[in-house]
A and B are shown apart, each in its own frame.
Chain A
Amino acid sequence: MLTSNILIAASIAYVSLLFIVAFWAERRAERGQLGWLRSPLVYTLSISVYCTAWTFYGAVGSAARNGLEFVTIYLGPTLVFIGWWWILRKLLRIGRTQRITSIADLISSRYGKSATLGVAVTLLAVIGSTPYIALQLQSITTSFSVFSPDSGTGASDGNTSALWIAAVLALFTILFGTRNVDANERHHGVVTAIALEAVVKLFALLAVGIFVVWGIGNGPTGIFAHMSPEMLHSDQIFSPRWVALTFLSATAIITLPRMFQVTIVENADERHLSTASWAFPAYLFLMSLFVLPIAIAGQYILPPGSNPDLFVLTVPLAEGQNALALFAFLGGFSSATSMVIIATIALSTMVSNHIVMPLWLGRSKDRLATSGDVRRVLLLSRRLSIAGLLLLGYFYFRLTGGSGALASIGLISFAGVAQILPSLLGGIFWRGATRTGALTGLAAGFILWAYTLFLPSFEGAFILSAGVLENGLFGHAWLRPQELLGLTGYDPLVHSMLWSLSVNTALFIGLSLIVTPNQLERIQGAQFVDVFRQTGPGGTGVLIRRSATSEDLFTLAQRILGTTFAHRLFTQAATEQNKTSGLPDPTDTFIERLERELTGSVGAASAHAMVSQIAGGGTVSVEELLKIADETAQIMEYSQQLETQSRELSKTASKLRKANAQLTELGAQKDAFLSQISHELRTPMTSIRSFAEILRDERDIASEQAQRFVGIINTESQRLTRLLDEILDLSLLESGRINWQLEPVSLDAAIAHALTSSEGVRDTSDIKIIRKGDKNIMVMADFDRLAQVFINLLSNAIKYGRAENPQITIRTQKLGKIAMIGVTDNGAGIRAEDREKVFEKFSRLSEITLAGSAGLGLPISREIMRNLNGELSLEENAPGAVFRVTLPLV
């Protein structure tokens, strides 16, 4: 027979083992030798903290009473985990990027780092979890009592052992759960111990199950043969309750604080979730596989009226399998302790970050920047919270212990924390969700849950009297807690869920649609909803107006993160800012990063409050808002880029069109040029050929006549040669292949040279040359080319400036830094519309003025002047043609 002493000894040995394992794991973690401690397996096993004593013992009890219904508690989590791609993956990513420390932190952070929401969720979680902790304590004491049914001391014994258990658990949790304030730092010791407990409870239940199926029932068929036909309630299995329970357990796996702690906060690697997505359902599958057989065996072996919640223990005991019973006891013990440990860690983080820290901050506003070690305050508040929560659980157990109220507390607790679901899902999938909506929905849901489910569970012993339960508040029948507004015909749980969750969701959505969120909420909303679209670590958090001094920030960081870490963080930031020594500048990026680091320790709201207090303000400027990579901004930026690109494209296209037009024009000009050249060449050629033919054919031609013809042929061939020379010269000039030798040149010398060269032309006509202006001008030019220009101008003036008394005026003068030369004749001048055409190749002005000209002189001159950095232009008639040449002085 197992005595209490053996049980106590076994429990103490087991707890010692847990301490040793946790201690060993912490040591390994400190030395950085994590190895398999950071594996997907350990992660999956730690998630199994979901299976508490309530499921370990209670599932069999539920199976005995309600058949297959117990499965729903495992099916919900299974569905959530195999659907990890939907929700858990996103939560995990958000948890990691935003350094979320708890479910309260998640909600508070999402809705603009709202301290109020943090407090609300924390209170809800504490109220929902305390009975659950009490339930674990109760299950341990009850399982103790199974082994010593006749000891007689009963209740007081149970109370003492519950107190002892609570104390040991508090010690364990404080030792391994509050080593560091950074809740993001994984509690390797705790997680490893929890994983070990997960293995123990699984094997304990499997051992009992295998014993039942093959030891008692001769295989599966044998055990099912003992099943009473009504047990499964086959016809009523699929009911609203079935759906509601599955939904509730699915919700619980996401919203229970302890589940959030192990799944999101303690997660070391996102890929572990991928493994857990099938491994955790497999764990649940194994946990529930033998539940029904054990329940069947219990009903079959044990006398009627035995407590089915204890079949896991009493069946092996009744069969004389003491060792197995002890193992089962340790399994139940594991389930209970692991839940309590993780739940208190999660809740203490929430309490200290969302209730204690804000209070402390409010009380010591002035001291924040100057004194006190925030770390100590935090750790102390966490340790006290752990002790307080366990004490609360213990008192709850003392007050209600023994009353049947605890039995259903598991589901009631689930329904309580399920109120977080609308704000949570809305928060991560809907940008429009607002703080007001979340807070109101949560509060209404909480009140309805308390009124329709939680308080009635005390059966009139707490706040709501039996009378109220029976007749409704103030005697109004429509306010009956379990038949609100006359909604009858539903199970109390389904009834409460219908009311609380639908009102919660409706208010949440409705108010979110009405109330305008503030900027911080919008930013956080974008951060959460588009978490997969955020790239890199930059540009995530809240940007704060810079009025902080680095010293203040360092003091703050030092006191929360510890000197070493703060030092490392600041040095690193300084290096990134390319500062070799001293503190980094309080840039937006740096402040943002610091806030994120602090968030990992004290939660978003507190970190925000602290940093804002020092950094001043907390407002976000428009430019900063624009920087945030939210969807609209990204789209806008993208479309702007597109617009710019298309603008550039159309610009390029128009340039190309212009170039094409120019090319076409050039092509046309070239054709015109060619035909012009042919024409110009053809004229002298024709006369040469005609006179040559005359000389050949006419035998009797007078000698002087022949002489005259030969003279014409000679002149025309000279003209032809000159024309060809000019064409060559022009093409050479235009191709830019000439090396210009610019040197100081006397302007007067160039003009004199030109006058001399044109003497031959002048002799035939009686032209008067008038020279005016400054004669000592030196210009930068190429002498020969400059002279060529003047020769051209002079011969033009001589040829076309036909008048009664032809005269040509050459005027030179200095004008600032340039020399200006005017060549004027007293002829008919050039018509205004022809003035630009004279510079075109072979332009044909009126046949009279330019007849016989190759028309290349002026284009060549202009080209030369361009190359001499000067200019050749045609002025208005005065009254004859006025050509003006400008040149830079030396």
Chain B
Amino acid sequence: MTLKPAPDLAERAFRRRRRYDAALILPIFGIIMLVSPVFGIFTKNTLLFGAPLPFLYVFSVWFLLILLARRMSHLLSKGEERS
């Protein structure tokens, strides 16, 4: 088994930059999913698994956002410590 060589400075800077970008994109993704006409697609008066679709949609997107934010927060704080 070979150890992966530590990425060089430029590569690390690039990855850090990308993490920052991702952190900036996340709320925009949230806005598109929840506060834009995209949300309108899911506001149908139907039941899915016995629960109303809008309810399911909002809460599952919300949950997804929390998971992504958690992942982001770990990545970002890791990056801060390294740099």
Residues on A facing B (Cβ under 8 Å): 68, 71, 75, 78-86, 220-221, 224-225, 227, 229, 232, 234-235, 237-238, 242-243, 246-247, 271, 274-275, 277-278, 281-282, 285, 289, 292
Contacts and interface: CB of A to CB of B under 8 A. Distances in A.
A285 B39 CA distance: 18
Given A238-B37, A246-B34, A221 B59 contact: no
Interface string B10-43: 0000000000100110111011001101011001
B43 A238 contact: yes
B50 A225 contact: yes
A281 B69 contact: yes
9 closest cross-chain pairs (CB), A and B: A83-B27, A221-B50, A85-B23, A278-B69, A278-B70, A234-B45, A82-B69, A238-B40, A237-B43
A760 B29 CA distance: 110
A75 B73 contact: no
Contacts of B77: 271, 274
Contacts of A282: 66
Given A75-B35, A277-B69, A224 B62 contact: no
A81 B69 CA distance: 9
A220 B59 CA distance: 14
B76 A274 contact: yes
B82 interface: no
Contacts of B37: 238
A82 B76 contact: no
A247 B20 CA distance: 24
A78 B65 contact: yes
A239 B33 CA distance: 14
Contacts of B24: 83, 85-86
B4 to A, nearest CB: 26
B30 A292 contact: no
22 contacts: A82-B27, A82-B68, A86-B27, A224-B51, A224-B55, A225-B50, A232-B54, A234-B44, A234-B53, A234-B54, A237-B39, A237-B54, A238-B40, A238-B43, A247-B35, A274-B73, A275-B73, A278-B67, A278-B72, A278-B73, A281-B65, A281-B66
A224 B50 contact: yes
A75 B52 contact: no
A79 B33 CA distance: 11
B63 to A, nearest CB: 7
A289 B52 contact: no
B51 A75 contact: no
Contacts of A274: 73, 76-77
Contact of A281 (B39, B50, B51, B62): B62
B27 A220 contact: no
Contact of A82 (B30, B43, B52): B30
B69 A68 contact: no
Nearest to B51: A224
A289 B66 CA distance: 14
Contacts of A277: 69, 72-73
A224 B52 contact: yes
A81 B67 CA distance: 13
Given A234-B54, A289-B59, A278 B66 contact: yes
Among A84, A238, A246, A271, the one with the most B-chain Cβ atoms within 10 Å of its Cβ is A238
A591 B53 CA distance: 62
Among B54, B58, B73, the one with the most A-chain Cβ atoms within 10 Å of its Cβ is B73
Contacts of B72: 82, 277-278
Interface residues of B, number: 39
Among A71, A80, A234, the one with the most B-chain Cβ atoms within 10 Å of its Cβ is A234
Contacts of B34: 75, 79, 246
A106 B72 CA distance: 28
A234 B59 CA distance: 15
A234 B50 contact: no
Contacts of B27: 79-80, 82-83, 86
A40 B57 CA distance: 29
A285 B63 contact: yes
Given A79-B27, A79-B34, A83-B27, 18 more contacts: A75-B58, A78-B30, A78-B66, A79-B30, A84-B23, A85-B24, A221-B49, A221-B50, A232-B45, A234-B43, A238-B43, A246-B35, A247-B35, A277-B69, A278-B69, A278-B73, A281-B62, A285-B59
A235 B45 contact: yes
A68 B54 CA distance: 8
Nearest to B26: A82
Contacts of A232: 45, 52, 54-55
A672 to B, nearest CB: 54
Contact of A234 (B49, B52, B65, B69): B52
Contacts of B66: 78, 82, 278, 281-282, 285
Contacts of B39: 237-238, 242
Contacts of B69: 81-82, 277-278, 281
A278 B27 CA distance: 12
B55 A292 contact: yes
Among B20, B47, B68, the one with the most A-chain Cβ atoms within 10 Å of its Cβ is B47
B43 to A, nearest CB: 4
A81 B53 CA distance: 26
Contact of A68 (B30, B50, B55): B55
Contact of B26 (A71, A83, A234, A275): A83
A277 B53 CA distance: 27
A79 B30 CA distance: 6
B45 A85 contact: no
A20 to B, nearest CB: 33
B23 A285 contact: no
A819 to B, nearest CB: 69
Contacts of B26: 82-83
A728 B47 CA distance: 112
Contacts of B20: 85
Contact of B51 (A83, A220, A285): A220
A220 B43 CA distance: 19
Contacts of B51: 220-221, 224
Contacts of A75: 34-35, 58, 62
A182 B50 CA distance: 54
Contacts of B53: 234
B7 to A, nearest CB: 22
B78 to A, nearest CB: 10
A75 B36 CA distance: 13
Given A224-B47, A238-B39, A85 B54 contact: no
Contacts of A271: 77, 80
Contacts of B28: 83
A277 B65 CA distance: 11
Nearest to B77: A274
Given A75-B35, A82-B26, A227 B68 contact: no
B77 to A, nearest CB: 5
A184 B28 CA distance: 33
